[in-house]
Chains A and B, each alone.
Chain A
Amino acid sequence: MAHIKKKRGGVQMRLEPAEAALVRGLLGQLLEMLGDPPETGEGLAALGIAEDAALSDDPVIARLFPDAYRDDGEAAGEFRRYTELGLRDGKREAADVVLATLGDDEAARVDALLDEGQARAWLKALNDLRLALGTRLDIGEDWYEQVGALDRDDPRLPMFAAYDWLTAVQEDLVHAVW
């Protein structure tokens, strides 16, 4: 099982190979959803400003990049134009920090000492994964009951299990950085 502990100089993060594989796989899907950064060096994109921007039709992307104004579509669009490219960069960077911690060796245990910045990137990336899974699964406050009512062969069960595991790891990590 994942082992997360506050240490002098940072947070120790130990993961079994299967746990590392799970995080790697989910981060790969997240990065795919986030897409590549736009070509730089030209126009507004070079300044981190989008030509135009609207709330995504994809509920996961819409949750990761919500409207900043509830009753003012124009202001929400302007905010998005100026912030979303940068926010996407930040989420990609956090995911990359986690992938770097995990390394490429799929058979190896992970045993890393995270500094403050790395731990924060882990927290953000784990949270993004939980937001993505939670949105896909339509998680509610009573999601444990939701799961209890599922058939044993329901295809969503592994996703709920992954969500549950990510939640436990994030909880441990928050307490380790506090």
Chain B
Amino acid sequence: MSTAPAPVELERPEAREEQGADRPWVAIVWNDPVNLMSYVTYVFQTVFNYPKAKAEKLMMDVHHKGRAVVANGTREEMERDVEILHSYGLWATVKRDD
């Protein structure tokens, strides 16, 4: 995301973070005893293009709180994200944000 031209860059990260009425779905990653902390961080960086600090924070949330919301968006976007997370072996689910 950080490589996008300025006008686009201003909009896209916000759209990705936005909790508005048209983006009420979330992707959740659940803790499991097998997936390595380093690997989970790597997956968050690779799949979502998150900076390392954000990916690490989300990984720690998964580890300590048992789960973390890792993305939000439309239902279709969240299903696609969860499918990709499953391809990496992470335990991920889709849920309407409430």
Which A residues have a C-beta under 8 Å from some C-beta of B? 63-70, 75, 79, 83, 86-87, 90-91, 120, 123-124, 127-128, 130-131, 134-135, 139-141, 143, 167, 170-171, 174-175, 177-178
Contacts and interface: CB of A to CB of B under 8 A. Distances in A.
* Interface SS of chain A: helix
19 contacts: A64-B89, A66-B86, A66-B93, A68-B82, A68-B83, A69-B94, A70-B93, A87-B83, A91-B87, A127-B35, A130-B34, A131-B89, A134-B34, A135-B34, A140-B33, A141-B33, A170-B36, A171-B36, A174-B39
A79 B38 contact: no
Interface in B46-98: 46, 79, 82-83, 86-89, 91-95
A68 B79 contact: yes
Given A66-B91, A68-B83, 15 more contacts: A66-B92, A68-B82, A79-B79, A87-B87, A91-B87, A123-B88, A124-B89, A127-B35, A127-B39, A127-B88, A130-B34, A139-B34, A141-B33, A143-B33, A171-B36
Interface string B22-56: 00000000000111101100100010000000000
Interface range for B: 20 to 34
Nearest to B35: A127
A154 B93 CA distance: 36
A83 B33 contact: no
